[in-house]
Structure 1
Amino acid sequence: MSTGTVAPVVSKHPAIDEDWKARVGAVAASAAAAAASVDQEARFPEEAIGTAREQRIFGACVPKQYGGLGASITDVCELVEAVGRECASSAAVLAMHFSQELCLTRHIDLERDSDLAGFTKQVAQHQMLLASSTTEKGIGGDTRTSSCAVTRTHEGGIELRKSAPVISYGRFADAVLVTARRSSEAPPSEQVLVVVPRAHLQLERTSGWDALGLRGTMSEGFELEASVPESYILPLDFAAISAQSMLPASHTLWASSWLGLAAGAGDVARRFVQSKARLDPGRTPPAALRLAELEVHLQRMTDSVRAGVNRFESAGQDVEMLSSMAFAIAMNTLKVSASELVRLIVGDAMVIVGIAAYSNQGPLSLARALRDSIGPSLQVNNDRILHSTASLQLVSRGTR
Structure 2
Amino acid sequence: MSDDAFTLTEDQRDLQEAVRAVVADKVAPYAAEVDREARFPQEAHDALVAADFHAPHVPEEYDGVGAGALEVCLVIEEVARACASSSLIPAVNKLGSMPVLLAGSDDIKQRYMPRLARGEGFSYGLSEREAGSDTAAMRCRARRDGDDWVLDGQKSWITNAGVSEFYTVMAVTDPDAGSRGISAFVVEKGDEGFTFGAKERKLGITGSPTRELLFDSCRIPGDRLVGEEGQGLKIALRTLDHTRITIGAQAVGIAQGALDYARDYVKERRQFGKAIAEFQGIQFMLADMAMQLEAARQLVYVAAARSQRSDADLSFFGAAAKCFASDVAMQVTTDAVQLLGGAGYVNDHPVERMMRDAKITQIYEGTNQVQRLVMGRQLLR
What TM-score range do you get, normalising by the shorter chain?
A: 0.7 to 0.9
SS in structure 2 opposite 1:354?
helix
CA 263–337 in structure 1, closer or farther in 2 if over 3 Å, else same: same
The answer to whether residue 355 in structure 2 is matched with residue 370 in structure 1 is yes
Match of 1:304 in 2: 299
CA 331–23 in structure 1, closer or farther in 2 if over 3 Å, else same: closer
Contact 2:162 2:189 in 1 (8 A): no
Match of 1:292 in 2: 287
Shift of 1:168: 1.6
Contact 1:145 1:191 in 2 (8 A): no
- Root-mean-square deviation (CA, aligned residues, Å) is 2.8
Number of equivalent positions: 369
Contact 2:179 2:233 in 1 (8 A): no
Shift of 1:232: 1.2
Gaps of 5+ in 1: 1-7
Following superposition of structure 1 onto structure 2, how do residues 186-225 of structure 1 map, counting pairs within 5 Å?
186-200=177-191, 202-225=193-216
Deviates more, 1:338-347 or 1:179-188: 179-188
**Aligned residue among 297, 301, 308 for 1:313:** 308
2:203 is aligned with what amino acid? L
1:130 is aligned with what amino acid? F
Gaps of 5+ in 2: 1-5
Q: Distance in 2 between matches of 1:144 and 1:164?
A: 13
Shift of 1:86: 0.4
Shift of 1:342: 0.6
Following superposition of structure 1 onto structure 2, how do residues 152-231 of structure 1 map, counting pairs within 5 Å?
152-154=144-146, 156-200=147-191, 202-225=193-216, 226-231=218-223
Shift of 1:40: 0.7
Q: Distance in 2 between matches of 1:298 and 1:17?
A: 19
CA 115–299 in structure 1, closer or farther in 2 if over 3 Å, else same: closer
CA 21–191 in structure 1, closer or farther in 2 if over 3 Å, else same: farther
TM-score (norm 2): 0.86
Match of 1:4 in 2: none
Match of 1:266 in 2: 259
Match of 2:141 in 1: 149
Q: Distance in 1 between matches of 2:192 and 2:172?
A: 18
2:101 is aligned with what amino acid? T
Match of 1:5 in 2: none
Shift of 1:185: 4.6
1:25 is aligned with what amino acid? A
SS in structure 1 opposite 2:361?
helix
Shift of 1:57: 3.3
Contact 1:360 1:368 in 2 (8 A): yes
Contact 2:330 2:355 in 1 (8 A): yes
Deviates more, 1:299-308 or 1:222-231: 222-231
How big is each residue's C-alpha offset from its partner over 1:357-378, in whole Å with a ceiling of 9 and x where there is no partner? 222104xx41111111222222
Q: How many percent identity over aligned positions?
A: 21
**Aligned residue among 97, 111, 123 for 1:118:** 111
Contact 2:315 2:374 in 1 (8 A): no
Match of 2:339 in 1: 352
Contact 1:59 1:128 in 2 (8 A): no
Once superposed, which parts of structure 1, at least 4 consecutive aligned residues long, lie more than 6 Å away?
none
**Aligned residue among 18, 34, 37 for 1:38:** 34
Contact 1:116 1:234 in 2 (8 A): no
Match of 1:241 in 2: 235
**Aligned residue among 95, 98, 103 for 2:94:** 98
1:369 is aligned with what amino acid? M
2:339 is aligned with what amino acid? I
TM-score (norm 1): 0.83
